Structure 1
Amino acid sequence: MTTYSIAHAMLRTIWNALDGAPDALAAVRLSGQGDLPSVFATSDLAQASVAAAGLALAGLVQSDGAAPAEVVCDRRLAAMWFSGSLRPQGWAPPPLWDAVAGDYRAADGWIRLHTNASHHRAAALAALGLDARQATREEVGQAVARWKAGELETAVVAQGGCAAQMRSQAQWATHAQGAAVAAEALVARQGVEAAAQPSGSIDPRRPLAGVRVLDLTRVLAGPTATRWLAGFGAQVLRIDPACWEEPGVVPEMTLGKRCAGLDLRQRADLACLEDLLRRADVLVHGYRADALERLGLGVQRRRELNPALVDVALNAYGWSGPWAQRRGFDSLVQMSSGIAEAGMRAAASDKPVPLPVQALDHATGYLMAAAAVRGLTLRRIAGEGSQYRLSLARTAQLLADHPAASGLAGLAPETPVDLHPHLEQTVWGPARRLRAPLSVGQAEMAWDHPASPLRSARPEWL
């Protein structure tokens, strides 16, 4: 295959899932070269997902009567953004992983424990009979070795934690959840009748200026989507509860956003969120499927508050099947779906070999951003609201369907030229960002706010 043939194939698949017109693909120019080291076409997924978001944005601009805009996506920079865009100058962010998070050998295979959140750590160690405050990685390993992987996975999940047994692709295909995910759409949309929205002209240089995005997401897919939307001018307001922290990724993922806090168990805070929702254009949320329902903010209530809302929802393991309510993260889905096992076999390794980046998170994030913009376009054209559903597991299937081409060169090392000249002044210290991997006609990615701490702003629209 040629350098871009897999990326083009993936882009066609994504664009078709977004109900895009096939002839719009002619506006896309894929540039750059190089591949992340992976048994799957990870760099192609990076380029295709970023380009799909750009193509959706070009369609929004064109809906205002503009000529079709060229969408240019750089393969190498897109793959680099999948690893991380932030380059701190003279300081370092906290570690990405908790000390006991990771892969462990069980009695009959491998299992991954995800313990970055304190309550997930407590749940996993409770299942193992260990003290969450004092247990060492060595003690965790010794305890895990006494369990069968599937039984420990069940026990951790029952405690409210996050774990995944390593399965092969063949095992996942015959698993009830794997079969359910395989039957789902990559991007599922349901249209909703709504009154037409007043629509001013679109600035082709900042196409999302004036768009209000309410962000109820956590690491990393949802924040990737809303960071991208902010990069083209959207006003993004992220809401977190007081108990949630993700210090290792906040400087990376809050770029361009204002971050506020609400306790949705409190009536006044829930009323505040409902007021924000009434005046939002887009809602992006990554709570488990039943969480908003239990808070009284289910689909019907959201539609009552804002019939024309573009509602974009994410979960880990899909929207049907026995695991539809299961907590999950990119690294766990890689273990469940056979990606880590395929990497292990290809590398002739004695332990799981995941993707070199959290590609399921990042790719799904760009697909969510593309869905949000497609929803805005359809609302502008037809006066419709939209509800979109995506999952990490369904994105994993897209990647698993595309093995990497052989004989392609790796990514060239990063150089100072790859960094944007702007110095981002964050509360943690100055930072540089990678140059953006995408342009859409006159629109270049740029952010109006530096990265900021969680709960550092008021929960209000500007």
Structure 2
Amino acid sequence: MSPAAVLDSLWERAGLPGAALAFARLTGSEPVFPSSFCVGTAAQATIAAAALAACELGHQRGAPRQRVGVAMEHAAVECTGWFAIDGRTPDPWDKFSGLYRSADGWVRIHANFAHHRDGALRLLGLNPATATRADAEAAMLRWNAVDFESAAAEAGLVATALRSFQQWDATPQALAVAQQPLFSIDRIGDAPPLALQPLSLEQRPLEGVRVLELTRILAGPVAGRALASHGSDVMLVNSPQLPNIAAIADTSRGKRSTHIDLHEAAGRSAMDRLVQGAHVFVQGYRPGGLEALGYGAPALAQRRPGIVCVSLSAYGNAGPWAGRRGFDSLLQTAMGFNHAEGQAAGDGKPRPMPMQILDEATGFLMALAACAALWRQQREGGSWHVQLSLAQTAHWLRGLGRVEGGLSARPTSRAPYLETSASGFGELTAIRPSAQLERTPARYSSPSVQPGHSPPHW
């Protein structure tokens, strides 16, 4: 599919007016990074869709439509998520993260959080205080891949067996994912349209839209950052009890950031006050996590009639894996992408795609769907629930087809797309937004700040 056709299909899924598509301009072609998959197309189409949807919501509020241009090279570089702090690029992976040979195949372990790393090492029969990577590799050879995957899931850990597309397609979870749409936008209650002020010609399309973001890795933070780049007031809410990854310095651009502990009465009171002023609530915690604390979509629609709730999961809301934790790298392994890239390379060695494209594309799809739901809310009222998953995005990406000879491409240089600014983490060098809006350029109106920097009120 051409990038324009992919954008058209996303727009149709979002239910937005077809006339707006005439204002989109997509340039460039595959391949832009070494991959046999359409990673450039996925980046470009999702970024363009999110920006165009923001502009369409702005048009709903009285602003003229404006042209939106996205170059594939810039979009793909943006989706690498590259950044540096004070000239240093953080290593995105813990030394225990990655692929391990097992007795009958391969297993990928995600160990970027200490509790996941230590749990995986204990499952391997090792002492986390003294184990080495070599110890873990030797221990994994005693396991069958699927057995370790199942044991890890039962323990609440994050590891997956390597599968081919054929092997993945034979699983019950693959069948469940294939039956779900790329994303869903459902009305979950009645409410009048929420008050949003009309926009002047100079105002960015999402100004006045308040977004509560309860996310950590990586798709959810990308969604909040995309909304912030078009003018939303985004409040990132972290638990003071949970760790973060280094990428928070990049994904927090344009946001406020507060600490709230929902296990305490004072924290719930603060959250309830924020909810009362929010238009959009974005969450990416494991399925059932926030529901158990009273902040699932139906409860939020009762507290704040008219709110748009956006829920992200790893494997979708149906099938035997619906409750499992998961990250981009793990889904690439479980769903056949690592195997397929190795086959395309000719050596058969499993290899990842050149970016966390499932996270990145899903983040921009979340922004698209949030704007589309809010556009509907402004037209007809109601409370709305948007649902997406990394697995549904992966299924969609696979459906875009393959790039012949794509693995021989040279990576696009990031140098032309960098911007440097002060931040709460040090001097931040990162990729500027690739969506080029004719009248209101995408930008981050505030620097990224440390978690807990902002008070918990609008």
**What is the TM-score when the length of structure 1 is the normalising length?**
0.94
SS in 2 for 1:210: coil
| 1-structure distance, mates of 2:386, 2:414 | 38
Superimposed CA distance per residue, residues 151-174 of structure 1 (whole angstroms, 9 cap, x where no aligned partner): 001111111100111111112112
Displacement, 1:12?
2.2
Displacement, 1:412?
6.6
* Number of the residue aligned with 1:426: 423
Aligned partners of 2:168 and 2:174 also within 8 Å: yes
Give the unaligned 5+ runs of structure 2.
none
SS in 2 for 1:353: coil
SS in 1 for 2:317: coil
| 1-structure distance, mates of 2:302, 2:412 | 51
Greater displacement, 388-397 / 449-458: 449-458
| 2-structure distance, mates of 1:345, 1:387 | 39
| 2-structure distance, mates of 1:10, 1:131 | 49
| 2-structure distance, mates of 1:355, 1:190 | 32
Alignment of 1:179-218 (within 5 A): 179-191=175-187, 192-204=189-201, 205-218=203-216
* Number of the residue aligned with 2:279: 281
Distance 1:417 1:163, change over 3 A: closer
SS in 2 for 1:29: strand
Aligned partners of 1:94 and 1:247 also within 8 Å: no
Matched, 1:322 2:312: no
| 1-structure distance, mates of 2:163, 2:205 | 43
| 1-structure distance, mates of 2:322, 2:405 | 39
Superimposed CA distance per residue, residues 205-246 of structure 1 (whole angstroms, 9 cap, x where no aligned partner): 411112111010111100000001111111111111123222
SS in 2 for 1:320: coil
Distance 1:203 1:246, change over 3 A: farther
| 2-structure distance, mates of 1:102, 1:220 | 17
Greater displacement, 263-272 / 37-46: 263-272
| 1-structure distance, mates of 2:294, 2:428 | 40
* Number of the residue aligned with 1:458: 455
| 1-structure distance, mates of 2:102, 2:358 | 25
Matched, 1:307 2:319: no
| 1-structure distance, mates of 2:165, 2:411 | 31
Equivalent position amino acid for 1:414 in 2: S
| 2-structure distance, mates of 1:264, 1:272 | 9
* Number of the residue aligned with 1:223: 221
* Number of the residue aligned with 2:353: 355
Equivalent position amino acid for 2:432 in 1: R
Within the candidate set 171, 177, 184, 2:167 is matched to: 171
Alignment of 1:23-422 (within 5 A): 23-33=19-29, 35-88=32-85, 90-191=86-187, 192-204=189-201, 205-406=203-404, 410=409, 413-414=412-413, 416-420=415-419
Percent sequence identity is: 36
Displacement, 1:203?
4.0
Aligned partners of 1:35 and 1:43 also within 8 Å: yes
Superimposed CA distance per residue, residues 401-459 of structure 1 (whole angstroms, 9 cap, x where no aligned partner): 12333367946753654334xx4112332233333211233121111221222222222
SS in 2 for 1:429: coil
SS in 1 for 2:422: strand
Superimposed CA distance per residue, residues 358-414 of structure 1 (whole angstroms, 9 cap, x where no aligned partner): 000000000000111112211222223211000000000111112333367946753
SS in 2 for 1:209: coil
Distance 1:415 1:296, change over 3 A: closer
SS in 1 for 2:2: helix
Distance 1:100 1:412, change over 3 A: closer
Distance 1:56 1:349, change over 3 A: same
Superimposed CA distance per residue, residues 54-90 of structure 1 (whole angstroms, 9 cap, x where no aligned partner): 12112112213443321111111100011125344x4
| 2-structure distance, mates of 1:71, 1:446 | 14
SS in 2 for 1:351: coil
| 1-structure distance, mates of 2:93, 2:171 | 29
Aligned partners of 2:33 and 2:411 also within 8 Å: no
| 2-structure distance, mates of 1:246, 1:349 | 36
**What is the TM-score when the length of structure 2 is the normalising length?**
0.94
Aligned partners of 1:42 and 1:404 also within 8 Å: no
SS in 2 for 1:389: strand
Q: Give the root-mean-square deviation of aligned CA atoms.
A: 1.8
| 2-structure distance, mates of 1:48, 1:276 | 32
Within the candidate set 8, 17, 22, 1:12 is matched to: 8
Aligned partners of 1:221 and 1:362 also within 8 Å: yes
Give the unaligned 5+ runs of structure 1.
none
Distance 1:368 1:415, change over 3 A: closer
